[in-house]
Chain A
Amino acid sequence: MVLLEVDDLKVHFEIQDGWVKAVDGVSFSIDSGETMGLVGESGCGKTTAAYAITQLLPPNGRIIGGRIFFKEPPRVAAYRKEYDEKLKESPKARQRELSRVKRKLDRVDQAIGGSAPEVEELKDRLAALNYSFDLIGLSKRKDGSLDDYNEEIRKIRWTQISMIFQGAMNAFNPVFKVGDQIVEAITLHEDVEESVARERARELFEFVGIAPDRIDNYPHEFSGGMKQRAMIALALALNPSFIIADEPTTALDVITQDRILAEIKRLQEQLKMAMMIITHDVSVVAEVSDKIGVMYAGLIMEIGQASQVFKNTAHPYTAGLLGSFPSIKGEKRRLVSIPGFPPDLVSPPTGCPFHPRCQYAQKRCREERPEGVTIEPGHVSYCHFANKLWEKLRRTA
């Protein structure tokens, strides 16, 4: 079941020289219980995409377009897609349809009432037309910026969608005890006694493998790995259904990283939690993700199941990324670097943003932004020549 659907999300930042097109039309969906890895180099927009989901953009961030649907019932989603197809680019037609459904609902509701299937269907249709499950719609202001303090969003944030922040080293407030910070998160969102919240915090510590009596320690008394575990405990505090982990292991040493990744895997297995892991490290993604999205210059280049992306690579950028990554396993082969460097997102290249660095680039790549090409079920490459290149790019496994 789809838990989160991001549809054509565009987030730009206003700076002195113009607009940084950090995320410029990204779509993907995550099922409940699924882990998606979002990989890309620094500045490719992966973190921005995540912050848009939790609606924690910096003040100069603007949502230029797109919607993020969270916990949308499947039928609503189906109706929504149906309407979107039917009423494409005609706000007036949508308005008419909306009032028609509303009237019908009123009528039927009075006639039959209650929770009859017919009423339910109309309610779902209404929700679809209204984009009721769109998070962006809840808090977007006229100028595209987000209202961080929107009540509806605050209800969802952390109780439903929580986050493991980049650099857990600095994510805790150094002057408060770690346990108190978790307790605060719990009591802020739930109407429980502090003692109950403390007990929950102790359980959470135990769950992530820290001795519960460390709850009264300050952040500086924790090692890097322990802080990261405490961060995971904080993210789990309110039993969310979706966790976004932003570079959860980047500043950690390999052995600690390995433990945290094992911890994340355990979360997936025991709590059946959906996750999105954002990282630049292809090997981390390989370790924990079911699904992988490869981002470059604000766009998704390739998306699919982990093994599809790794084994049946169908985008030159993904191939380049994998080819430039050393491994301790397998034959030692010469790494191939991608020529050039990532573009400036104030004025990204026209057409496919990767074309200046792509050895297969042709005229069409400079002019036209590629549509998704489905390689196999669930595996999409945003390359004009994906079908042709696929055979060449897939690595001999």
Chain B
Amino acid sequence: MSETNTIVKVRNLKKYFELRKGFLSIGKDITYVKAVDGVDFDMRSGEILGLVGESGCGKTTVGRLLTRLEDPTDGFVFFLGRDIALIEGQDVKVFRRNIQMVFQDPYESLNPRTTVTQTIMEPLLNHHIGESPEERLEMVVQAMEDAGLAPAKEYLNRFPHELSGGQRQRVAIARALAVKPRVIVADEPVSMLDVSIRAGVLNLMLDLREKYGIPYLFITHDIAVARYISDRMAVMYLGRVVELAETDEVISNPKHPYTQALLLAVPVPDPDAKHGRIDIKGEVPSAADIPLGCRFRPRCPKAFKGCGWEARDFIDWLGEKGYLAEDNKLRQAIASFHPDGFVLRMTVNDGADPNAVVDLVKDLVAEGRRAHPLLDSVEVIDTLMTDRVIEIDCRPAPISADALAAELFTLLESTVAYEEPDHPMHGIIADMRLEKNRLIVSVGDDAQNLKLAEAFLEDYIRHHRRRNRPEFKGVKSISASPANMTVTLTCVASKEPAVKTAEDVAAHIEKRLAAEGTGDLAKSTLPIETKKKRVRVRILGPESNWSRLLEALKELVTANRKEDEGFAQRVSRIRIKTVKKPQKTVATKFIRAEEPPLFDVGEGHQVACYLFKGGRLGQPPATERGSGQPWA
């Protein structure tokens, strides 16, 4: 694995904390604080990666996930090719030795009752490093001298309270260094230190990198510090990395509107430096209630049509423009607003005519269209029949051994990019092929590689089985054959649970409806919901839309097309179900947008912003843009 230079690989990492609201919330949906919500980055050997963001953006949690002080809700951290969530038993100790942490507060991270020697010696003893006490003492002295506590003799028997803040942080660094880790995670290591001391600790960290080539993840809120110390920089906002590039590139050529605003806000120690301002709107939203689409959109000065505007933005806008004032026609016609993601349901007053409300909303949307990109992203405004829902009941589906192997093959191919040079399996896995119910992974010629690949695949299957692919228990055996240099995964027939098939069916319907050219039918269909083994579909507009949609769905499931194969046996019944008393309702549906992934804009510069979709540098095409930009 020595040829790969990626030490840590973080993929789609998530950490949700449950938010308990007391006993009144029992039975209600649990809300989660999404501290980390899909983070991707790599750490390369010998490199300092700066993780920058405002307080509450999740940067500290990322550090804690990397060191396994927290378990992720989803996603992976690969450390030297292994998924750290799967490291067990004795290996945990090895892992902990290899990834060390330096904490923010040197007044709290050192035990006040142990001397410097004891503090630094402890990890050596824990990990059985060093043959004799003398040797260990020598290591302690070496680590201290490396950390700039020289002459070490003077400090060996001191207690933390006998040291200054800078010296304490040096002890913490020496403690991390003593076990010769492969990675150091440093969480705000200088923010508690006095300005005149800070530079010394930063320089020390740079020198140590120079000397030992240890990569750091340097977590900080201070962009100037990150600029000074890091080679690459990842900017986080509300649980996600929004921009990632070489540090100089981020500083001199920031692309994401958030990064731009952040950089303009940093004060400069020079009274003549006049700096501009982009005032982004409002405050960071709560991590328990993250905006859909691009999460920076509500504050973004450059947001446009395709950023994922949602119902509550519309309500805010209505309020701002005075449509919700008591004497407004719209307000008088509507009894209540029910924002739900990309759909806004409005319950119409008894006396009012829903169709008139539809026209009213259409008019005001048409009027405001050029002024605010939000209105540009209105897809459909129509009445909604609330008394019915199309329910598709799903059942567990048997999955043949061959199909399972095929599915596994697709998954491995799409997620294990062993052909990329920085993938941990690069140079280890040479090829994968499918043979009926067996998946054969061939390995480059090295017995060591065979073992690594086997361990990796075992971890991989186990991980997916635990998370959301229970059908992988049909992977009966994983066997390495040194003769052929292959690892063979043999599958037997298995069963997909109904919950899983329901998800499949929902995804399938969504995809097909969009592709089918059903035009207004797909447009008017509300986002598809799954509840356990049931898929629920609703559509805007008159009765006739419902029957058409039902027909279309039946056809989708029963059709004997190749790509639809198997859906008939996953669905037990499709019907329109009457759910409650009809209510006069009008709904506005907005163009749906997913969270923007990191788009590559060249030379390793990645930006999570739809302005850069497809690596395009610059502005969105005029058609997508609305007029006012930046809008105010």
Q: Is the CB of B197 within 8 A of A253?
A: no
A337 at the interface (CB under 8 A from B): yes
Q: Is the CB of B266 within 8 A of A280?
A: no
Q: Is the CB of B197 within 8 A of A223?
A: no
B263 at the interface (CB under 8 A from A): yes
Q: Is the CB of B268 within 8 A of A342?
A: no
Q: Is the CB of B54 within 8 A of A254?
A: yes
In the complex, A226 Cα to B55 Cα: how many Å? 16
Centre residue among A322, A337, A338 by max chain B CB count within 10 A = A337
Q: Is the CB of B198 within 8 A of A261?
A: no
Which residue of the partner chain, among A225, A281, A332, contacts B228 with CB atoms under 8 Å?
A332
Residues of A near any B CB (own CB < 8 A): 41-42, 223, 225-226, 253-259, 261-262, 280-284, 286-287, 289, 306-307, 310-311, 320-330, 332, 334-339, 341-342
Q: Is the CB of B283 within 8 A of A258?
A: no
Q: Is the CB of A336 within 8 A of B224?
A: no
Q: Is the CB of A342 within 8 A of B196?
A: yes
Centre residue among A253, A257, A334 by max chain B CB count within 10 A = A253
Q: Is the CB of B224 within 8 A of A328?
A: yes
A257-B265, A341-B167 are known contacts; what are 19 more A-B pairs with Cβ within 8 Å?
Answer: A254-B266, A258-B267, A258-B277, A280-B195, A282-B195, A283-B267, A283-B268, A283-B269, A286-B268, A286-B270, A287-B268, A324-B199, A324-B200, A326-B224, A329-B270, A332-B228, A337-B200, A341-B165, A341-B194
| B272 surroundings in chain A (CB, below 8 A) | 307, 311
Q: Is the CB of B195 within 8 A of A325?
A: yes
The smallest beta-carbon distance between B446 and chain A, in angstroms, is: 42
In the complex, A321 Cα to B269 Cα: how many Å? 11
Q: Is the CB of A337 within 8 A of B194?
A: no
In the complex, A170 Cα to B261 Cα: how many Å? 28
> Given A41-B196, A255-B261, A324-B199: A341 and B166 within 8 A (CB)?
yes
| B279 surroundings in chain A (CB, below 8 A) | 259
B203 at the interface (CB under 8 A from A): yes
Mark contacts of B160-177 with chain A using CB atoms, 8 A cut-off: 1 yes-contact digit, 0 otherwise: 000011110000000000
Residues of B near any A CB (own CB < 8 A): 54-55, 164-167, 194-203, 221-225, 227-228, 248, 251, 261-273, 277, 279-280, 283
Q: Is the CB of A327 within 8 A of B270?
A: yes
| A261 surroundings in chain B (CB, below 8 A) | 267
| B222 surroundings in chain A (CB, below 8 A) | 326
Which residue of the partner chain, among A321, A325, A328, contacts B263 with CB atoms under 8 Å?
A328
> Given A253-B54, A322-B269, A337-B203: A41 and B194 within 8 A (CB)?
yes
In the complex, A121 Cα to B227 Cα: how many Å? 60
| B196 surroundings in chain A (CB, below 8 A) | 41, 320-321, 324, 337-338, 341-342
The smallest beta-carbon distance between A82 and chain B, in angstroms, is: 35
Chain B residue nearest to A333 (CB atoms) is: B228
The smallest beta-carbon distance between A141 and chain B, in angstroms, is: 34
In the complex, A254 Cα to B275 Cα: how many Å? 14
Q: Is the CB of B265 within 8 A of A258?
A: yes
The smallest beta-carbon distance between A46 and chain B, in angstroms, is: 13
Q: Is the CB of A253 within 8 A of B55?
A: yes
The smallest beta-carbon distance between B393 and chain A, in angstroms, is: 46
Chain B residue nearest to A37 (CB atoms) is: B271
Q: Is the CB of A255 within 8 A of B54?
A: yes
Chain A residue nearest to B222 (CB atoms) is: A326
In the complex, A380 Cα to B263 Cα: how many Å? 34
Q: Is the CB of A321 within 8 A of B203?
A: no
Q: Is the CB of B199 within 8 A of A310?
A: no
- 17 A-B residue pairs with Cβ-Cβ distance under 8 Å, sorted by A, are A253-B55, A258-B264, A281-B195, A283-B224, A283-B266, A287-B267, A287-B271, A289-B271, A307-B272, A310-B271, A320-B196, A324-B195, A326-B199, A328-B251, A329-B268, A341-B167, A341-B197
| B251 surroundings in chain A (CB, below 8 A) | 328
The smallest beta-carbon distance between B474 and chain A, in angstroms, is: 50
| A339 surroundings in chain B (CB, below 8 A) | 200
In the complex, A339 Cα to B166 Cα: how many Å? 11
Which residue of the partner chain, among B54, B195, B199, B271, contacts A306 with CB atoms under 8 Å?
B271
In the complex, A330 Cα to B266 Cα: how many Å? 13
> Given A321-B195, A328-B223, A342-B196: A255 and B262 within 8 A (CB)?
yes
In the complex, A241 Cα to B256 Cα: how many Å? 42
In the complex, A334 Cα to B228 Cα: how many Å? 8
Which residue of the partner chain, among B167, B195, B248, B263, contacts A41 with CB atoms under 8 Å?
B195
The smallest beta-carbon distance between B198 and chain A, in angstroms, is: 6
Centre residue among B167, B222, B223, B269 by max chain A CB count within 10 A = B269
Chain A residue nearest to B248 (CB atoms) is: A332
Which residue of the partner chain, among B227, B267, B280, contacts A332 with CB atoms under 8 Å?
B227
| A286 surroundings in chain B (CB, below 8 A) | 267-271, 273
The smallest beta-carbon distance between B212 and chain A, in angstroms, is: 19
| A332 surroundings in chain B (CB, below 8 A) | 227-228, 248
Q: Is the CB of B228 within 8 A of A326?
A: yes
Which residue of the partner chain, among B261, B269, B273, contacts A325 with CB atoms under 8 Å?
B269
In the complex, A140 Cα to B223 Cα: how many Å? 45
| A254 surroundings in chain B (CB, below 8 A) | 54, 221, 223, 262, 265-266
In the complex, A337 Cα to B190 Cα: how many Å? 13
Q: Is the CB of B202 within 8 A of A335?
A: yes
Q: Is the CB of A328 within 8 A of B268?
A: yes
Q: Is the CB of B199 within 8 A of A335?
A: yes
The smallest beta-carbon distance between A228 and chain B, in angstroms, is: 12
Q: Is the CB of A337 within 8 A of B198?
A: yes
In the complex, A288 Cα to B259 Cα: how many Å? 23
| B165 surroundings in chain A (CB, below 8 A) | 341
| A320 surroundings in chain B (CB, below 8 A) | 196
Q: Is the CB of B268 within 8 A of A327?
A: yes
| B194 surroundings in chain A (CB, below 8 A) | 41-42, 280, 341-342
The smallest beta-carbon distance between B473 and chain A, in angstroms, is: 47
In the complex, A225 Cα to B196 Cα: how many Å? 28
In the complex, A320 Cα to B195 Cα: how many Å? 10
In the complex, A339 Cα to B271 Cα: how many Å? 26
Centre residue among B55, B201, B227, B266 by max chain A CB count within 10 A = B266
| B223 surroundings in chain A (CB, below 8 A) | 254, 328
| B167 surroundings in chain A (CB, below 8 A) | 341
Q: Is the CB of A326 within 8 A of B265?
A: no
Centre residue among B164, B166, B264, B271 by max chain A CB count within 10 A = B271
The smallest beta-carbon distance between B262 and chain A, in angstroms, is: 6
| B267 surroundings in chain A (CB, below 8 A) | 257-258, 261, 281, 283-284, 286-287
| A306 surroundings in chain B (CB, below 8 A) | 271
The smallest beta-carbon distance between B160 and chain A, in angstroms, is: 14
In the complex, A336 Cα to B197 Cα: how many Å? 10
The smallest beta-carbon distance between A213 and chain B, in angstroms, is: 13
Please provide the 5 A-B residue pairs with the shortest distance between their CB atoms, ordered closest to farther. A337-B200, A258-B265, A324-B199, A337-B199, A335-B199
The smallest beta-carbon distance between A245 and chain B, in angstroms, is: 15
Q: Is the CB of A336 within 8 A of B262?
A: no
In the complex, A323 Cα to B203 Cα: how many Å? 13
> Given A283-B268, A286-B267: A327 and B195 within 8 A (CB)?
no
Q: Is the CB of A328 within 8 A of B195?
A: no
| A258 surroundings in chain B (CB, below 8 A) | 264-267, 277
In the complex, A280 Cα to B261 Cα: how many Å? 24
In the complex, A311 Cα to B283 Cα: how many Å? 36
The smallest beta-carbon distance between A175 and chain B, in angstroms, is: 20
| A324 surroundings in chain B (CB, below 8 A) | 195-196, 198-200
The smallest beta-carbon distance between B221 and chain A, in angstroms, is: 7
The smallest beta-carbon distance between A166 and chain B, in angstroms, is: 16
Q: Is the CB of B273 within 8 A of A329?
A: yes
> Given A253-B54, A307-B272, A334-B203: A328 and B198 within 8 A (CB)?
no
The smallest beta-carbon distance between A281 and chain B, in angstroms, is: 7
The smallest beta-carbon distance between A341 and chain B, in angstroms, is: 4
The smallest beta-carbon distance between A42 and chain B, in angstroms, is: 6
In the complex, A280 Cα to B283 Cα: how many Å? 25
Chain A residue nearest to B200 (CB atoms) is: A337
Centre residue among A225, A255, A257, A306 by max chain B CB count within 10 A = A255
Which residue of the partner chain, among B201, B227, B262, contacts A326 with CB atoms under 8 Å?
B227
